[in-house]
Structure 1
């Protein structure tokens, strides 16, 4: 940790490591993290399957040790469950049952533990079925990797993928009620797939991610870079990419120049005041068709809080005791990562907002501002739901 801080030119507020379920709590390592002014993220993985997770002596002892270190702990239990490469990914109902068990034990034994529910950026379609519910989750996280090729296959080139776009699904779905963590981020600088160095690629992806996070994704509260050379440190079958930023001066500089920004903290901040004017940036389910801006039905239901019914050709949208009918546009788009396709049920945004006489404007910076008014009582419900906005306004950033 000290060496990483020295090379990168900045102290960091948090550090993470893996611990297999069944292994003892890493007390010595946590004290090392505390000694450099940080707090730990522990990626705690039941790699022998979920059946070993029980309310027993091991779980209770782990929780008590977590309490004894007397520092906030971000506990990333059983992450990347939405993929098929983990030992705990097949049964969503069992996963949720075991998650709730771990949550309840930690709540009872270790109130300093914050539960981080952390997925991989893909596949998207399996993510939501593993979600335990807001009352059992403190932070929502996602692991993001920019690789030149997927799955060690030359034909699956992925150098075009935008790290910010790989964040969008989780951010848009969960950040209105939960703070977001990027549990791991890495960018390839060398891969055995083609046997070539990709320093420019790593510089570009790292710079883009860290430069735009503070402005475009204000609900992201932590990001952890995976400073590891997998060619040396990964198990057999995964020695494919080198993600290390401390082995190449250009990549180190790309990272260092971005994290010097004041938004990237150098230690724990006690009783940090929450920004009551924090805005929500919506960056997905938007598309232009014949010079008209369309939004997905999810945008209308979840972010504008309207009720939507539909048939084959049109939507019926209800808001503030009024109902309007709007034509439907259907589109299928390719999703960059893993080549998923997504069906978009489009509603003309201008037509929708005009129908309800909603004031809205586009400013010169590419922002769309929508000014919402609610019937009596509705605004309070939204605040209770954890949404963050100022004076009844939503600010949606179109990029």
Structure 2
């Protein structure tokens, strides 16, 4: 059946055409403005727009509210990212609730990034059912949720990294609960860009000759190198995955990273499609992520984290030149026609210390009024914000 989904914004409710299977109308808590009835799509990938790209933000919640960021940028993001340890501790649950309340007030989708810091074995059916129950409550209050579980799992820097068997099992458990209990939500599988794989030297690098090592040795030459597939061993399967995504940053143009340099022309799309061959090395052995997981599998593609490195006080190119060169690649006018599966791009809006470069990096696009004005001025009309939600494609 075909119905309508109500998209709640701070100013008004906008009807979005979606393929839907059921409709609920739970009342909002009395402390908030009443939400309209929220209809539940059969397929969480229906949260992807039929055309255009959802523009989002990874916000440093301790430094800035969603309302403050929207005012600085002049737009309310269509997607808002919140990170949380998983299973949710009491503090993590409180922080997620606070993020939900801000998104409900300002409008948009909550992209909930779950970090299983206690290890993948802690991801049980009970904790995933609890998560899905919370997501369903958010949906019924007018906030769509996309769950990005254990991101950058192909890296060696997180506790869940380079453990393909346990990772896929845990992801499928999360997906089973989400799809059964919170069908208005969706899942996202999101590795790190494969250039530099297998990211040797990290604390959680796979141990030689273990079962995981054998899984990751995709060419079966007894080694794990850049010749092995950095994505496929970690893919949980089409039934479990609604969205696919990739963390993709400009850290500089060559190793060692951390120089204030303008990104090479075309770098963003080349890395997304496995065709990069530049100052950072020849990465043409990296699979075409966009084609394999977006086009071939029919999944909406996201860049859930992106930004361009600028280190204040370090010599090199100016902050605006670096960031503008990167965001203009994200705004490449060829994207809507040539890369129609790209449906979401989220800027990493943090000013934080990065151990990889031993410095505080200002990643922000709205950290100063001058940078924010330049970013806003360059935005194409097909980048979508909460105040201009898109028409969405029907679910199958």
Q: Secondary structure at the match of 1:164?
A: helix
Quote the residue 2:364 is aligned against. Answer: 244
Q: Secondary structure at the match of 2:125?
A: coil
Asked if the contact 2:148/2:189 (under 8 Å) is kept, the reply is yes
Asked if the contact 1:39/1:268 (under 8 Å) is kept, the reply is no
Asked if the contact 1:115/1:139 (under 8 Å) is kept, the reply is yes
* Structure with the largest fraction of strand: 1
Gaps of 5+ in 1: 276-385, 387-399
CA deviation map 1:31-68 (0-9, x unaligned) = 21021121200111112321211122x33222211111
Quote the residue 2:14 is aligned against. Answer: none
1:129 aligns with 2:251: no
1:207 aligns with 2:328: yes
Q: How many residues align?
A: 273
Alpha-carbon deviation of 1:20?
Answer: 0.9
Quote the residue 1:52 is aligned against. Answer: 122
The verdict on how the C-alpha distance between 1:65 and 1:207 changes in structure 2, with shifts beyond 3 A counting, is same
Q: Secondary structure at the match of 1:230?
A: strand
Q: 2:138 aligns with which of 57, 69, 89?
A: 69
| Bigger Rg over Cα | 1
Asked if the contact 1:153/1:193 (under 8 Å) is kept, the reply is no
Asked if the contact 2:116/2:150 (under 8 Å) is kept, the reply is yes
1:2 aligns with 2:67: yes
Alpha-carbon deviation of 1:238?
Answer: 6.2
Alpha-carbon deviation of 1:96?
Answer: 0.8
Alpha-carbon deviation of 1:248?
Answer: 3.3
CA distance in 1, matches of 2:272, 2:377: 22
1:104 aligns with 2:176: yes
Asked if the contact 2:244/2:300 (under 8 Å) is kept, the reply is yes
CA deviation map 1:210-262 (0-9, x unaligned) = 2333343211111111011123xx67986442201222344323321233514
Quote the residue 2:21 is aligned against. Answer: none
Q: Secondary structure at the match of 1:148?
A: coil
Quote the residue 1:84 is aligned against. Answer: 156
Alpha-carbon deviation of 1:165?
Answer: 1.4
Asked if the contact 1:152/1:240 (under 8 Å) is kept, the reply is no
Gaps of 5+ in 2: 1-65, 198-228, 274-287
Q: 2:269 aligns with which of 160, 164, 185?
A: 164
Q: Secondary structure at the match of 1:187?
A: coil
Asked if the contact 1:184/1:223 (under 8 Å) is kept, the reply is yes
Alpha-carbon deviation of 1:263?
Answer: 3.9
The verdict on how the C-alpha distance between 1:155 and 1:97 changes in structure 2, with shifts beyond 3 A counting, is same
The verdict on how the C-alpha distance between 1:150 and 1:21 changes in structure 2, with shifts beyond 3 A counting, is farther
The verdict on how the C-alpha distance between 1:11 and 1:155 changes in structure 2, with shifts beyond 3 A counting, is closer
CA distance in 2, matches of 1:10, 1:33: 13
Asked if the contact 1:75/1:114 (under 8 Å) is kept, the reply is yes
Asked if the contact 1:76/1:117 (under 8 Å) is kept, the reply is yes
Quote the residue 1:253 is aligned against. Answer: 373
1:181 aligns with 2:302: yes
CA distance in 1, matches of 2:310, 2:180: 44
How does the TM-score come out when normalised to structure 1? 0.61
Quote the residue 2:87 is aligned against. Answer: 22
The verdict on how the C-alpha distance between 1:106 and 1:158 changes in structure 2, with shifts beyond 3 A counting, is same
Q: Secondary structure at the match of 2:384?
A: coil
Quote the residue 1:222 is aligned against. Answer: 344
RMSD in angstroms over aligned alpha carbons?
Answer: 3.0
CA distance in 1, matches of 2:137, 2:271: 37
CA distance in 2, matches of 1:74, 1:94: 21
The verdict on how the C-alpha distance between 1:194 and 1:92 changes in structure 2, with shifts beyond 3 A counting, is farther
Highest relative contact order (Cα 8 Å, sep 6+), 1 or 2? 2
How does the TM-score come out when normalised to structure 2? 0.62
Matches within 5 A, 1:258-337: 258-259=378-379, 261-267=381-387, 269=389, 272-273=392-393
Q: Secondary structure at the match of 1:126?
A: coil
Asked if the contact 2:75/2:387 (under 8 Å) is kept, the reply is no
Q: Secondary structure at the match of 2:392?
A: coil
